[in-house]
Structure formats: structure tokens, C-alpha cells
Amino acid sequence: MSKEYDVVILGGGTGGYVAAIRAAQLGLTTAIVEKSKLGGTCLHSGCIPSKAMLKSAEVYRVTREEANEFGVNTGEVSLDFSQVQKRKGNIVDQLHTGIKGLMKKGKIDVYQGTGRILGASIFSPMPGTISVEMDSGNENEILILKNLVIATGSKPRSLPGLDVDEQSVMTSDGALLMNALPSSITIIGGGVIGIEWASMLVDFGVDVTVMDRLEQILATEDREVAVAMHKALAKRGVKFILGAEILTESLQKNDSEVTISYKLGEEEQSITSEKILVSVGRAPVIDDIGLQNTDIQVENGSIQTNTHYQTKDDHIYAIGDVIGGLQLAHVAEHEGLHAIEHIAGKQVDPIDYDLVPRCVYSYPETAAVGVTEQQAKDRGFDVKIGKFPFMANGKALVNGHADGFVKIIVDQQTNDIIGVHMMGSHVTDLISEAGLAMVMNAIPWEISSAIHPHPTLSEAFSEAALAVEGLAIHM
């Protein structure tokens, strides 16, 4: 059976379903093909479930370690991990139901099954027609389209030679489904996902070790933030083995623990823990979707596009993790919106990826937009910097979480803000003001001229802007 559409989205994750909604808003007949669940990785095995568990870990830590300081005597505190998982599942289910409702509201057809791209055929002289192998077992649906958006997302990477069974050696997919917490865990990878899991699990009382081949965690972030995060996590009990060469072939498992060896310089050592979490990035999902039937170019596992997300077949677009770049849900959303508006014939400017906020939802949190101090210098900027510590912020002290700071990087020549970096409680909620400032090409004076209510954490951003010229009030 065949049906015609203006736009078909292959993949119903964050980028895909948002693109579909915008297409419907613009009057385009639209369909989504999704082989699992609408919402994709972000909703079901990424952003949302991990943040739900991080919140439970925070409540457990605060109740156990901080409540007495606020005059709240809790007595003996225990953790019900099954309830942690139940709450996580309820949040995911509620949001999943909401997305399905949005599809109905937009009159967007959803095909539950595996979609594959066909080449030129009796259905169309151009490649791009989608054949959907339906989960129901019914005969394949044929979707004839004017435009295709590939939004198939990504999956966790592993290391060559490492046997990931999602039980004793897990990726984040397996970790989210744990029935019980391990007594100890070795996390291979000190990037965003690894650090979030380290923070969560140490708050749950797990013995945590983070290993990385690099000498610095959060290697893509400002060094000052990364160093401060390292110290904060180490203070809470996380152990670090950095600059390590992981010897994957050395992996040994038994019923209760796993052991892996590594090299530090010329010295070979090993570490034993109940579980290993492999957190070394994500790989685009492009296998078995029919790319061989198109002229689409793939480099280093990622689909290549122009600045409007068109592939070599210009009626076929690709967005999100599948094109590499910043693998973030909010980036996929905006790439999807851009692609659809381009399809609809609207004038759209290319996305400036320097203006994309980046967040780590650990404790303390980190958030950033724009370039790091080192990147600014590498690009030839002469910079001036303003910093303000949360220790001097009244609301941070009231909250009982005064670790961290706000750092603003400014181009000395133009006085434009080119980077903002934050570490502290709730900074992932504060970073949007910095993002707006950069979109508007704001200078520090404009930030400090906006009256920030007192007492709020946002005052730290205003004070950091004043500090650029040495004019901070409370420091």
C-alpha cells in the first residue's frame, strides 16, 4: 500500500518529532517513521531518564548529608531504588503520551516500523521513497515523498575488543535499566555522560572510579571549569585515573565482579569493580536505512550535509546526531526546524554553533555557551575575563550550595561577549540568559544594566559582567 506526503521524517526522536510538528504547522502533509518509541534516545534512554535519576540522587544526598544543617532532623535515611526507577518510568511515560497527543493534534501520520530508503523506482524517479517494514507484521507501507528528513539518531559507542553485555559491562542504555545499584563501578570515559553518572552514583553511595585516556575530564569545556569539577567530585569521593590506556583485551568477568587492566606510562595496573560503565561517546545510526540507494555522502560514520542540512540528494535532509557535530537534543530540534523551514521555501540563516548552550547535570552543574578561554586565544582573540564566585551570592548561600562561579570571556577589541562558563547549582537554568546575550551581541555593560532581582542566582551573571572591568560590587 502506498501513500504520498510532502515530508517524511525517518526517526521520531527529539529532532524528528519537532521537525514533523513544524512541517504540519506550515501546512505540509507529514509522516514519521519510528521503529521504537516517539521521543527517541533523549526521552527513553538519555536526557530525561538520566535527569530523573540524578534528581533522586540529589534528594537522597541532601536528605542524608544536608538536612540537619537546615534544622530538619530526618533520622535514618534509606534508598528505595525500585521507587527511583518507578518515578523515572512515570515521567517518561507522561512525556511519551504527550508526544503522541501532539502527533494527533498536528494530523501527523506515525508509522511504527523500520523505514528504509529506496532508490529510483516505479514509485518515484528520485531516490528517497520509504519502504516501512511494519512492526505489526502487515505488508510494507510505501511512502512516496517530496522531501525526506533523516533523523535516525545515535547509539552508544564502545571500545574495540570490549565485550558489552549490558549487565556487568554496560553502556548508559543498560545502566538506566539496573534493578539494583552496584557496590562499585568503573566508568570508562570522563566526558559529559560519564561525569553525570559519576555524580549520580556517588550520591547513591556507590564506590565510583572514572578512567579516561585524557589528562582532563570534560575535555571540551573550559579548563577552569573542568579542574573545579574534578576537585568537587573528588571531594565527594569519586576517584580518577586519567591519562590511562585501557587494555580492553584484558577484561575478565566472574559472577560478582569485573577486572580490567590499564597502562599509566609504562606501568600496567588493574582495577576491579562490580560493574563497568562504558561512556566513550555515541555513533550515528546509519546502518540498514538504505543509504546505498542514494548519492548521500558519509564521512567518519556521519552523513554530510550543507548548512541547510541537505545531502547530495538535495530533497533529502539529515539532522541531529546522525550528522555528527554537537550531539545534543536541543541542537537536533533546531536543525529540524531549520530543515523544514528551508523545505517550505523560507529564508533561514545557518545555525551558529558557537551560540549553542552546553550543560552537564552533575552536582555541581556546569553550563557554557560560546568559546572557552583557550579556544578564544587559539582563534586570535585578545580577551578580558570577569569572574564572580557563588560564595559571594546570597541566594547560593541560602540554598546551601555555594560552590562554583560564573566566568565571562570578552573580546578586548569589540567588547563583545564570546564565551560564558558557569559551575554551580542550577547553572543549567541560568545559561539561557547568557545565550540570549550572545545572540544579541551583548557587551558586559548591557548585562549589568539589566536589573537582576535580589536575592537570585542570576545576580552572579550581572556581577561577573561588572567584574570584566573590575567593577563587581560584592567582591
Catalytic (active-site) positions: 454
**Which of the 8 DSSP states describes residue 450?**
S
Overall size of the chain counted in residues: 475
DSSP one-letter string for 373-434: HHHHHHTT--EEEEEEEGGG-HHHHHHT----EEEEEEETTT--EEEEEEEETTHHHHHHHH
Assigned C-alpha cell, 315: 530533497
Q: Across the strands, what pairs with 170?
A: 277
| CA atoms 404, 54, 174, 97: torsion sign | negative
**Which of 158, 181, 202, 201 minimizes the C-alpha distance to 274?**
181
CB atoms inside a 10 Å sphere around CB 230: 19
* Cα–Cα distance for residue pair 392/445, rounded to 1 Å: 20
Strand partners, 245: 263
The total of other beta-carbon atoms located within 10 Å of residue 203's CB is: 25
Q: How far apart are CA 65 and CA 403, in angstroms?
A: 16
* Helix or strand (DSSP H, E) at 252: strand 245-253
Strand order of the β-sheet with 239-242 is: 169-170, 275-278, 184-188, 207-212, 239-242
Q: How far is CA 266 from the centre of its chain?
A: 35
251 phi and psi, to 5 degrees?
-55, 130
Rounded CA-CA distance 121/344 in Å is 25
